[in-house]
A and B are shown apart, each in its own frame.
Chain A
Amino acid sequence: MGTKAYLMVKMEMSYARDGHTDGMKELKAMPEIETVEPVSGDYDFVIAATVDAPVRVASVASEIRAKEWVKNLDVLKVEPAAPNPFLDEVCSTPGGECVRWCVQCGMCSASCPNVGKMDYSPRKIIALIRAGRRYDVLTSNSMWVCASCYLCTVRCPKDVKPTELMHALERLSFHHGLRHGATSTPAMYNAFVNSINNNGRVHELGVMSKFYLKTNPLAVLKMIPIGLKLLSRGRMPLKPRKIRGINQLKTIIEKANVLGGAQ
């Protein structure tokens, strides 16, 4: 379980007047620090930080003390952090382990081509996970509009791998049956997976038909012209192709089902 610490910081006189905002920014950039509040009186800031073990409070404190604009720092209180089972769950899901390393720089969100369509940007999703907001995260549409372009992943300075995180959240959302009402991506994914489980290969026409039937049969009208163009060019086979080893594949999948470890 984590540890929560409250730290009080006094600035050097020469920085106190103009350095306030810069100092706050610097503190907020530290991954362990959750909030920084300016206060008046003997101290300039009160900081709330969460670390994974009590001993880490000392290292955070000395890191802050080492800043040249810090005159002194006192530890006000150290207590067990409120449990965050959702954070633990995400961290124990393959792909979700790295959210603790995020420094909230926002590079992922700034790189994301689909951020405009997301309920919460990738950076915010991570902040929400760390705040334990399980329901908000798993019922959001964010992961369902991620197109796996991996731009966030190659640009993240802390190697958090937001793309993998998005996939982990999709699996958790499936697993818990929590679903965003307006996204139909899960229905497409289901149709896709079924097609593989039945034939060993994806049959695109089958996936599309199943998807539209499930979500919006009328929308199919819009797709007919494209479908016909592909059909006339031999790009849309009507029948699925079954692999010869389909029973072998089914045996493997059944065993995986028994062993679990779905997420």
Chain B
Amino acid sequence: MRYYSYFPGCSLEATAVAYGLSTQAITGALDMELIELEDWNCCGSTPYGSTNELESLCIAARNLALAEKTGLDLVTPCSSCYTTLNRANSQLREYPDLKGKVDECLATAGLEYKGTVKIRHLFEVIFNDTGLKTIESKVMNPLTGLRVAPYYGCQLVRPEPSFDNQQNPQSLDRLIASLGAEPVPFPLKDRCCGGSLIIPELDLALGLIHQLLESAGSNGAQCIVTVCPLCQTNLDAYQGMVNSKFGTSYNLPILFFTQLLGVALGIELQGLGLDKGVISAEKVLAPSVTMAEPAT
């Protein structure tokens, strides 16, 4: 059993509840335990860092200080939290000035951050620590014939070089293949969905989402799999708007990688939050799911 400190992030309490549910549902089968960071606060995301540098580092550092006490790696399923917390870590390393001020601020609240926490993305943890071999051996319902577009988005592999190619990543493709499904070519797999600009710059974001759907759809994808709550919401909830704006008729379910894993691992479907999608995944998953029945 591997233990990690867990930072779900705000989206997992709202638009991405399905991500949280499916994450918790699969950890047991993967021999890992995620221990939620006690009383975590929002990481600050891009908006805070673009408003006030010192405050944004302070609020990120409160989480890091809490996590440091656990002595465990801090794992988050949200690509934005992952990038923001990592950015805070490196800013504190690179700017001793700011670090000094952040230390002072934390001290007023009786906290201290030495700078030792390692922040990891849930996908990377499952890919590297659990590993595809183990996953493959645990697959109960191979997703044979399911054509899946692997959507990495921006902030899993960028800006810091980590575990995969920064412009043509392969890890999610390989995970999909290990579940018996077929990763389709998806040229825009690392491109932007618009992120939180979906609110202030709706038209711009719809344009980006349209391109993504077109790239996945034209390559025969039956669904798109993502590792980021913002990507899921943008592509799922706004797909209808894209259709009416561009005269298209996409009907592509957008699944979290944890949901796909859950289905393949034979986890009870109710626990995977599959009913949360605006675009239902029932049809595309039906073949794999019905195959599961005899086993139960």
Contacts and interface: CB of A to CB of B under 8 A. Distances in A.
B127 to A, nearest CB: 20
Interface of B: 10-11, 13-18, 39-42, 44-55, 58-59, 62, 83, 91, 95, 97-98, 101-102, 104-106, 108-111, 154-155, 158-159, 161, 166-167, 190-192, 194-197, 199-201, 204-205, 208, 233, 237-238, 240-241, 275-278
Contacts of B83: 148, 150
Given A145-B201, A171-B51, A204-B14, A259 B41 contact: no
Contacts of B104: 255, 259
Contact of A196 (B14, B41, B98, B277): B41
Contacts of A225: 240
22 contacts: A114-B208, A153-B159, A154-B161, A155-B167, A167-B49, A170-B51, A174-B50, A188-B196, A189-B47, A189-B48, A193-B52, A204-B10, A204-B11, A205-B14, A226-B240, A233-B275, A248-B109, A249-B109, A252-B106, A256-B54, A260-B54, A262-B54
A114 B204 contact: yes
A236 B44 CA distance: 19
Among A149, A195, A249, A260, chain B packs the most CB atoms within 10 A around the CB of A149
Interface stretch (A40-48, A72-80, A101-109, A179-187): A179-187
Contacts of A230: 15, 237, 278
Contacts of B197: 145, 147, 185
A17 to B, nearest CB: 42
Given A249-B59, A251-B109, A117 B195 contact: no
A167 B276 contact: no
Given A190-B51, A196-B44, A233-B278, A261 B98 contact: yes
Contacts of B111: 248, 252
Given A167-B50, A196-B41, 19 more contacts: A113-B191, A149-B158, A154-B158, A170-B50, A171-B51, A185-B197, A187-B200, A189-B48, A193-B48, A200-B42, A203-B14, A215-B200, A244-B39, A245-B41, A249-B41, A252-B105, A257-B55, A261-B53, A261-B98
A113 to B, nearest CB: 5
A243 interface: yes
Contacts of B110: 248
B83 to A, nearest CB: 8
A94 B58 CA distance: 15
* List of 3 A-B pairs having minimum Cβ-Cβ separation, nearest first: A150-B158, A149-B192, A170-B50
Contacts of B154: 147-151
Contacts of B155: 148-150
A162 to B, nearest CB: 11
A257 to B, nearest CB: 7
A237 interface: yes
A163 interface: yes
A261 B104 CA distance: 13
B211 to A, nearest CB: 8
Contacts of A251: 108-109
Contact of A174 (B51, B166, B199, B233): B51
A192 interface: yes
Contact of A192 (B45, B53, B161, B205): B45
A211 interface: yes
B200 A183 contact: yes
Given A113-B191, A192-B45, A163 B159 contact: yes
A148 B46 contact: yes
A113 B51 CA distance: 23
A94 B53 contact: yes
A236 B14 CA distance: 5
Among B18, B39, B240, chain A packs the most CB atoms within 10 A around the CB of B39
